[in-house]
């Protein structure tokens, strides 16, 4: 998941959708790879502590009874190949 403060054209998005960014790209506000694999939080690649995502769990705060299970991390089935930003 990526949040930007700059306009991203459809071509920009398609070009970069399978590129793991460095987190220092101009206009990139927040970026979560969601690849931690364990635990109940996802950290922003940019290391901004205010951008930590916490998953709803019974021990982690107000949740409805239906959503109190621990998150189930699964391997992505998005077809590659993926590259790293230069």
Percentage of the chain lying above the pLDDT 70 cut: 81
- 1-28 pLDDT, tens per residue? 999 999 999 999 999 999 999 999 999 9
Given a contact cutoff of 8 angstroms between Cβ atoms, the answer to whether 85 and 15 are in contact is no
Please list the residues that pair with 84 across neighbouring strands. 20
Which phi and psi (to 5°) does residue 32 adopt?
A: -115, 125
Given a contact cutoff of 8 angstroms between Cβ atoms, the answer to whether 36 and 44 are in contact is no
Alpha carbon distances (Å) from 31 to 21, 23, 43, 68:
8, 7, 8, 26
pTM: 0.70
Q: What pLDDT shows up at residue 86?
A: 82
């Amino acid at each position: 998941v990526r949040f930007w403060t700059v306009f991203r054209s459809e071509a920009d998005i398609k070009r970069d959708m399978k590129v793991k960014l460095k987190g220092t790209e101009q206009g990139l506000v927040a970026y979560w790879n969601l690849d931690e694999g364990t635990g109940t939080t996802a950290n922003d690649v940019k290391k901004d502590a205010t951008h930590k995502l916490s998953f709803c769990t019974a021990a982690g705060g107000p949740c409805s009874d239906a959503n109190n299970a621990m998150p189930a991390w699964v391997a992505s089935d998005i077809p590659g190949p993926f590259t790293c930003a230069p």
